[in-house]
Amino acid sequence: MKESQAIARVIVKSAAEKSILRKHPWLFSGAIDKIKGNPGFGDTVLIQSSKGADLCVGAFSPQSQIRIRIWDFNPYEIIDHSFFEKQIRRASSKRSSIDDDSTNAIRLINAENDGLPGLIVDRYDGYLVCQFLSSGVESWKDTIVSILKNETGITGIYERSDTESREKEGLEKISGVLWGQCPPDHVLVKENGVRFLVDIKTGHKTGFYIDQRENRHLLSCYSHGKTVLNCFSYTGGFNTWALMGGASHVTNIDVSDNALSLLNKNAEINGFSPSLYTTVCSDVFQTLRTFRDGNKTFDLIILDPPKFAHSGHHVAKASRAYKDINLLAMKLLTEGGYLFTFSCSGHISADLFQKIVADAAIDAKREARLLKIMHQSDDHAITLNFPEGMYLKGLLCRIG
């Protein structure tokens, strides 16, 4: 009989075995019946059924409600340098068709969806930006960084493990250079030939919303000759692509002066005159109400807000915020105008989001016809056994 390398055994309750057999990569604390041994932070543990059958092997997190993140459903898989090398190479090979001369800003590793729970790696030209969001990958950080620098041929690796999810694991927020050169304040990248300056040191997430790549291109197909309102514009990804599509004018709203300053630079490096767009540094909700009261209208509106629901407890409040903002947008759209509306809140399901937007249309007394359902770009691919990976939901609606 084979033996596992794990230093401890975790016996799960019988009700939890179904989730493992369906290859879901998380085991919550309530699923555990007993622990044999004394596993520590990030240690490899063997998960067994209530009858003693070996099921899988995972990383132990003593403080998180997600007590174990599963490395592999082969309980005898050895978790070592070779394991991470194999997983990283596999993830990289899946993106080979995306990373080319016209696009060099991609997600290289997408956590659970690439068999590396808690690890995010984004590539921005010659730099990698990493987020180590679980105890398992944190304990293997040196190994992972060593493999990444050898496998990718990059100039530097920068860490952006400064998210709230780290605190749930009992980890401190941290950022800084992990290896190689420190990136400049702005890294120049390409997205389907369009150029963007990215602040990977202090920008949102890892610096840029790579997950919206395909949706930005889609926007360009609808923006010709349109007056566009870009809400939560950040550094102008949608602004630049709307102008690429021939928008007559784009109004951008964001609360950050720094983001709007970079938006201006991104428009400039792609050859667009400041006369083609406007920036408004203000709260989006407040500005939309001002536009409504002033009877201002637009042909196309983009709603790409930050995460409104950070946990299941916030779903009701977040739902009200999504409804409010979509209702306001619909009242500002011209007859036959287009609404690109998104939610990046993982706790807001696709069905719930569609219902919220439908309810907003009823209250706005507008007819909303669904033209397309949008998701994150292909390099943020989702495995079917991990539906939580489908965090970005988008609806393209024509408003009558």
pLDDT of residue 308: 85
CATH code of the domain containing 183: 3.30.750.80
Q: Is residue 88 part of a domain?
A: yes
Give the gyration radius of the chain's Cα atoms: 23
| Together in a domain, 373 and 257 | yes
Residue 388 has pLDDT above 60, yes or no: yes
- Average pLDDT for residues 359-371, to the nearest whole number? 97
DSSP-derived pairing of the beta strands 333-343 and 393-399 = antiparallel
Sign of CA dihedral 324, 339, 215, 241: negative
| Together in a domain, 382 and 339 | yes
Q: How many residues does the chain have?
A: 400
Residues of the domain holding 57? 8-72
| Together in a domain, 40 and 107 | no
| Together in a domain, 90 and 147 | yes
pLDDT of residue 349: 92
pTM over 0.85? The answer is yes
User: If pLDDT is split at 50, 70 and 90, which confidence band does 7 have?
Assistant: confident
Last-in-domain residue among 19, 51, 72: 72
In sequence order, which ranges of 270-380 are alpha helices (DSSP H)?
284-293, 315-332, 350-364
User: If pLDDT is split at 50, 70 and 90, which confidence band does 323 have?
Assistant: very high
Q: Is residue 49 exposed (0-12), middle (13-18) or buried (19+ Cβ within 10 Å)?
A: middle
Q: Is residue 200 part of a domain?
A: no
CATH code of the domain containing 342: 3.40.50.150
Three-state DSSP at 134 gives coil
Q: Is residue 194 part of a domain?
A: no
Q: Of 14-18, 119-123, 333-337, give the lowest mean pLDDT range.
A: 14-18
| Together in a domain, 364 and 231 | yes
Burial 56-77 (b: 16+ CB within 10 A, else e): bbbbbbeebebbbbbbbbebeb
| Together in a domain, 227 and 338 | yes
| Together in a domain, 263 and 345 | yes
| Together in a domain, 176 and 215 | no
- Average pLDDT for residues 53-77, to the nearest whole number? 96
| Together in a domain, 231 and 369 | yes
192, 213 in Cβ contact below 8 A?
Answer: yes
Cα angle 342, 343, 347; round to 5: 160
Q: Is residue 203 part of a domain?
A: no
CATH code of the domain containing 40: 2.30.130.10
Residue 233 has pLDDT above 70, yes or no: yes
Last-in-domain residue among 25, 52, 72: 72
Residue 238 has pLDDT above 70, yes or no: yes
User: If pLDDT is split at 50, 70 and 90, which confidence band does 1 have?
Assistant: very low
Q: Is residue 192 part of a domain?
A: no
| Together in a domain, 237 and 154 | no
Nearest to residue 118, comparing CAs of 57, 166, 79? 166
Q: Is residue 124 part of a domain?
A: yes
Residue 324 has pLDDT above 80, yes or no: yes
42, 144 in Cβ contact below 8 A?
Answer: no
Give the Cα separation of 331 and 309 in Å (integer).
Answer: 24
Q: Is residue 251 part of a domain?
A: yes
| Together in a domain, 257 and 336 | yes
How does the average pLDDT of the chain come out, rounded? Answer: 95
140, 109 in Cβ contact below 8 A?
Answer: no
pLDDT of residue 307: 84
pLDDT of residue 43: 95
Query: How many folded domains does the chain comprise?
Result: 3
Give the Cα separation of 7 and 58 in Å (integer).
Answer: 11
User: If pLDDT is split at 50, 70 and 90, which confidence band does 312 have?
Assistant: confident
The half-sphere exposure of 40 on its side-chain side, counting CA atoms within 13 A, is: 2
**Amino acid (one-letter) located at 112:** E
| Together in a domain, 66 and 131 | no
Give the Cα separation of 13 and 32 in Å (integer).
Answer: 6
Residue 99 has pLDDT above 70, yes or no: no
Percent of the chain residues past pLDDT 90, beyond the cut: 90
